[in-house]
Structures are given as C-alpha cells and as structure tokens.
C-alpha cells in the first residue's frame, strides 16, 4: 500500500489541477498559466546557479532576452518559423553569450559576482537599446508563432492557447526532470560541494572554475528556452525583456519559493505572478493598482525581514507541524 501523507496528497492534487486546468479555465487564465510556467522555467534556470551552485547572478534576464531576440530576428515576417530550427538556435546563442560572459564573471566571487553579472546584463541591454540591431527601444513584433512541424505533421498548434499551455507544461516537466537528474548526477553533487565549500573542492582536485562555468552556461541555455517561449507568447520583444528589473524579479521568485529546491522555483514563479495579478487588479486596490510595485516592494522587504527561508521554507515548517505524529505513542500502547 502506498502511504498517504499530506504533502504527497497536496502535490498530486496540484499536479492534477495543473494538467486539467485548461479544460475548464477561461482563455485569459490559460494564458496566465502558460506565462507562470514560462517564468517557472526561467526561475529553475536561476535556481541552478543561486540555490545549487551558490552563484548569486543578478543578470539572468540577459540570456532570457537574448534568446527572445534571436527568435524575433530570425523569424520570417509573415509566416511561421520552424521551431526545430529556431529553438535550438535561440538556446545555443544564449548559451554562447553565457559562455563568453561566464568566462569573465566566474573568476569573481561574492558581491563582485553580483555586480559584474548585473553590469554585463546591462551591457547587452544597451546593445539592444542603443543600436539598430534589434529595432532599438521600439523592439520587434513576431506576427506568427513558430510551428511544431515534424515532416508535415503538426502535433500541436502553438497559436491555440490551450495547446500552447500544454506545450509549455511538457517543456517545464522536461526541464524539471532534467535538472533533477543533473543535480543527482556527479556534476550536480560537485556543484553542491562548491556551494558548501569551494576551497575544499579545489583542494580535492575538482576543476572548480570549469564546473561553475558549466553551470553558468547550462543556466543560460535554460533561461534562453524560457525567453524563447516568452517571445512566442507575447509576440513582441523590446529591450525591457532583458532589463535588470527582470533579473531582480526572477531572483525574487527563486527566493520567494525557497531556493535550493526545484519545486521552490516553480512555487515562487507561481506565487509572484499571482501576487502581481492581485496587486495590479483595479477591483481590489482602485486607483493605487497602477502603483502595484509599491505593495510588491513592501512585501519583498517584509519577506526578507520576516520569512528568511521564503514561502517554501515556511510551508515546510507548517507541513512538518501538521504531519507530525509522536513516534513513541505506539510503543507506549503496547507495553
């Protein structure tokens, strides 16, 4: 018999809800769901760095945005691009950008790393904002979403919100499973070692620089996947997509969910986007809805001061309290 515990039941219910949701939800909420899952992939990519390798990057939006721009730049204007070509291309360019920048930034540590990742992300922002390469500050429209074409057969139509939702859901599941595998593989264990004690890993003989750079590039490629999907969904890219506020938001998601745990990143993305929707709803806050960032900012400050381990950490404590059973009760009954 499978033991039924509260966390497991909750998890199963949540999974079921995510899978069945598009069948009952209104189109607006299906699209919101897809957006949340795209942000979850983005947050997962950053959690690999922040939570698992101990590298606090404040420039993750750079790779997200670069991939989005790649899709916008190589899409034909009035017909659908081929997803099998454009998606790998976008992820590859994001990975190469992460490799070049990573080569420079990974040699720094701590607070330097934070500032330098931010600065290089801002450099890419200036490239797209100041030059004509990506349409300047106006950005580029993507009129037709890419199509999923396997020798003439199209399993999913990405223009359809429900099918797009499932496409993103599948990719989120793949990324989650992949990262879960990576983190339990020797590579992931080495990253954990680096996070806990870099000196010791180095003295054991691990090429720490290469491991960190590897994690940085992998995170860049996955952020690129999220950026590609975001560009598909919005049909529009402009420099704001790689602005540093975006990097701040995704970092917020990772911490909100509780870093260093993959489901935390997903939970964080979910909570952040929902909070944003609630705070910016005019029905709730009236004229102040357009100043929703004031509420969000205050909330962030409160969370850091009051819940140091994020919502995920807070839930863990609550769940442990609820499902706690005194272990000695059976024995005392028997004697």
Partner 1 sequence: MFYLIQLLNAVQYGLLLFLLASGLTLIFGIMGVINLAHGSFYMVGAYLAYWLAKLTGSLWLAIPIGIVIAFAIGLLLETAIFSRLYKRDHLYQVLLTFGLILIFEELRSILFGDEVHGVAIPALLDYSIPLTDTLSYPVYRLFVTAVCLGVAGLLYFVIHKTRIGMMIRAGTSNREMAASLGVNIPLLFALVFAVGMALAAFAGTIAAPISSVFPGMGNQILIICFVVVVIGGIGSINGAMIASLAIGCADTIGKVIAAEYSAIAVYLVMALILLWRPQGIANKA
* Residue 274: count of CB within 10 angstroms of its CB: 12
Closest residue by Cα to residue 296 from 312, 315, 313, 272: 272
**Token pair 């090429």 is at which residue?**
207
Give least dist CB 75 to partner 1, A.
24
> What is the phi-psi region of residue 186: left when phi exceeds 0, alpha when psi lies from -120 to 50, beta otherwise?
alpha
Terminal Cα-to-Cα distance of the chain (whole angstroms):
27
Give least dist CB 193 to partner 1, A.
19
Beta carbon nearer to partner 1, 107 or 154:
107
Closest residue by Cα to residue 260 from 316, 300, 319: 316
Give least dist CB 191 to partner 1, A.
17
Beta carbon nearer to partner 1, 47 or 158:
47
Closest residue by Cα to residue 315 from 10, 3, 4: 10
Beta carbon nearer to partner 1, 127 or 319:
127
Give least dist CB 300 to partner 1, A.
3
Beta carbon nearer to partner 1, 22 or 312:
312
Beta carbon nearer to partner 1, 57 or 75:
57
Residues 6+ apart with CB under 8 A from 183: 48, 52, 189, 191, 192, 262
Give least dist CB 27 to partner 1, A.
30
Which tokens is 166 given? 């499932």
Measured at the alpha carbon of residue 219, what is the angle toward residues 21 and 99, in degrees to the nearest 5?
150
Closest residue by Cα to residue 164 from 38, 39, 25, 79: 38
Binding region for partner 1 (CB under 8 A)? 50, 56, 58, 104-105, 107-108, 110-112, 114-116, 118-120, 122-123, 126-127, 129-132, 244-245, 248, 251-252, 255, 259, 291, 293-294, 296-301, 303-305, 308
Give least dist CB 246 to partner 1, A.
12
Closest residue by Cα to residue 41 from 209, 189, 173: 173
Rg of the chain over all Cα atoms, to the nearest angstrom: 21
Residues 6+ apart with CB under 8 A from 203: none
Beta carbon nearer to partner 1, 8 or 291:
291
Beta carbon nearer to partner 1, 151 or 305:
305
Beta strands in the chain (DSSP E): 140-141, 236-237
Beta carbon nearer to partner 1, 299 or 319:
299
Give least dist CB 119 to partner 1, A.
5
Give least dist CB 183 to partner 1, A.
19
Strand partners of residue 236: 141
Give least dist CB 219 to partner 1, A.
16
Beta carbon nearer to partner 1, 14 or 275:
275
Residues 6+ apart with CB under 8 A from 16: none
């Amino acid at each position: 018999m499978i033991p039924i515990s509260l966390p497991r039941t909750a998890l199963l219910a949540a999974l079921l809800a995510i899978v069945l949701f598009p069948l009952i939800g209104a189109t607006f909420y299906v699209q919101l769901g897809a957006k949340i899952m795209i942000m979850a992939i983005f947050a997962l990519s950053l959690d690999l760095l922040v939570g698992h390798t101990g590298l606090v990057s404040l420039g993750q939006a750079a790779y997200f945005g670069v991939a989005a721009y790649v899709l916008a730049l190589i899409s034909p204007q009035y017909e659908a691009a081929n997803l099998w070509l454009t998606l790998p291309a976008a992820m590859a360019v994001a990975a190469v950008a992460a490799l070049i920048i990573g080569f420079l930034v990974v040699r720094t540590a701590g607070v330097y790393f934070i500032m330098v990742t931010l600065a290089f992300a801002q450099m890419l922002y200036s490239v797209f904002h100041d030059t004509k390469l990506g349409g300047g500050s106006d950005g580029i429209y993507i009129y037709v979403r890419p199509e999923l074409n396997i020798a003439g057969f199209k399993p999913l139509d990405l223009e359809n919100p429900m099918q797009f939702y499932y496409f993103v859901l599948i990719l989120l599941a793949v990324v989650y499973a992949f990262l879960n595998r990576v983190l339990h593989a020797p590579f992931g264990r080495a990253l954990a070692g680096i996070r806990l004690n870099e000196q010791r890993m180095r003295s054991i003989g691990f090429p720490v620089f290469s491991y960190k750079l590897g994690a940085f590039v992998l995170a860049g490629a996955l952020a690129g996947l999220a950026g590609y999907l975001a560009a598909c969904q919005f049909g529009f890219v402009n420099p704001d997509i790689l602005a540093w506020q975006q990097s701040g938001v995704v970092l917020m998601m990772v911490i909100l969910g509780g870093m260093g745990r993959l489901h935390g990143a997903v939970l964080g993305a979910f909570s952040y986007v929902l909070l944003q929707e609630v705070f910016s709803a005019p029905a709730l806050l009236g004229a102040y809805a357009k100043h929703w960032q004031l509420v969000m900012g205050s909330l962030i400050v409160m969370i850091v001061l009051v819940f140091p381990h994020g919502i995920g950490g807070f839930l863990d404590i609550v769940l442990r309290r609820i499902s706690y059973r005194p272990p000695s009760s059976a024995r005392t009954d028997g004697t």
